[in-house]
Amino acid sequence: MRRAVQALVISGVLLSAAACSTATSGPTPGSAPLAPGAPGAASATRTGDPANKSACEALSEVYNENMAPFAEAVTRMVDARKRAQDDQDYERRVKQSLTTFATAITGATKDSTDPQLRTDGKKTAEQLKAKASDAKFIGGIKTTEDANTVLGPTLKGWLSPVAQHCS
């Protein structure tokens, strides 16, 4: 589980670097071209969009500040469940960290000059808040594999509406 958290922190740093990129179009010279349908392929030209730059930097900070607490809360909840301990406090922490993450995304995107980024920020935040209040979802995170899925592909999917503006 600790490896998963470390991998997420490292990927967060890489996401931050990508969000702060100032490239104005396509792949960098000497790099492989993006395949159609590949993540970032549709938005490669948006990276340097001045309307998105400050919001993307803010989103990068939001990710860096909120990913570790969320990952830690999920990890501790799963550990408590493995030991058959009372997990209500851990569930509360997962819900709280996810809600805080959502609120921060709203704050980072609400003043963007790009109306689509504002809309996608609101959509992402609403989805995170909905998952935070979904007892079935929280209750379904029982194993290390469940946690890895939530902290990996599931979270990536939740964040994809705003991430597409910054990749």
Fold of 53-167: Four Helix Bundle (Hemerythrin (Met), subunit A) (1.20.120)
Higher pLDDT among residues 120 and 48, named by residue: 120
Contact yes or no for 124/159 (Cβ under 8 A):
yes
pTM of the shown model: 0.71
pLDDT for 36: 34
Give the helix ranges, DSSP H, for 88-166.
Answer: 88-109, 115-132, 135-139, 144-149, 155-163
Contact yes or no for 88/74 (Cβ under 8 A):
no
42-46, 70-74, 145-149, 163-167 — which is least confidently predicted? 42-46
pLDDT for 52: 84
Given a cut of 60, whether residue 13 has pLDDT beyond it is no
pLDDT for 87: 85
Cα–chain center distance at 166: 12
List the domain boundaries for the chain. Answer: 53-167
**Cα–Cα distance, 77 to 143 (Å, whole number):** 10
**Cα–Cα distance, 74 to 97 (Å, whole number):** 9
Tell me the three state secondary structure of residue 55: helix
